[in-house]
Structure 1
Amino acid sequence: MKILKYIGFGLLSIFLFFIAVAVITTINKAEPSDTFIPFIEQNMSEIAKWDKAIFKRLMTDEAYNSITPEQWELYLSKMSSLGSLESIGELSLENMSSVTSFSGNTKSTVVYMVPLSFTTGLAHAKIILVHTDELGVKINHIRFLSDHLMQ
């Protein structure tokens, strides 16, 4: 009978632990309207200047360094053919997740589809952003989709 009490107490402790982690993650996650949307609205015109230094400043180190300097030159050359950014449409949140580590740090990740109007026509940017308390908001991945780029 005593062993059943210990098993019950152990299971209750595990259950309460996972509830606490879920509560901490919910409290600490970044709010898209306060964190990610202003980042996109403030920085998309900078990104559309197609300057490698801007990408270095706005991207996570892992994402920026995953591309060789030669690939960066090719990528930026191709993207600059879109012309000048004229306007940004209504952002569409496609996915959001938050993870809390055992140290209590929460990492929020979002995926947005951003409609853009360039001098050459319409395009979309699929952008994956991450937020941590240490780094703030950074770009983890960005891809531009446009009929113009397929020519």
Structure 2
Amino acid sequence: MTRADAIKVGVGATALAAAAVIWLWPRGAYDPPGSYFYDLSEKKLYAAPRNAFAPEDGIGGESGDGVEAIVFKCPQCPADRLETMYLRTHTPEYKRRHEEARRAGTAVEGLTREWESEHTLISRVDPIAWHKASSDEAIKIGSSRGGRCPEHGLALKPCRPS
């Protein structure tokens, strides 16, 4: 191996080691953003922790009426101008199985896309009418998300609480 080749190998190994150190360096207590939820009785959007699973208690009113909200916003509008496109929750059976798996530290047993679609419910914000995720109506609701900001004409982007 020539001296030039040895230098190239050394530089490459050093760069690779530096990349590995940066990648593996502890990042501290990073808490990824949670999700938006919507309290059905209060008719309010709120930020829920990352591990929240609908339905949850919500922020007031009836217990168990906090459902996941799929929220979009215009990149140029103020941060508080949010558009709730649709709501998502789960059947009591799905919630029970999810909670059991969480307590056991395992995955939900027997979970297939078909089963999940049958036990996940979708609704518009107004009027509230729940549909199985596999239904034509739920697919129509889910595909209607997005759109454009009426003020700026920009495509709305999905967002999470920061």
Shorter-normalised TM-score: what interval? 0.3 to 0.5
More helix by share: 1
Please give the TM-score of this superposition, normalised by the length of structure 1. Answer: 0.33
Structure with max Cα Rg: 2
More strand by share: 1
Please give the TM-score of this superposition, normalised by the length of structure 2. Answer: 0.32
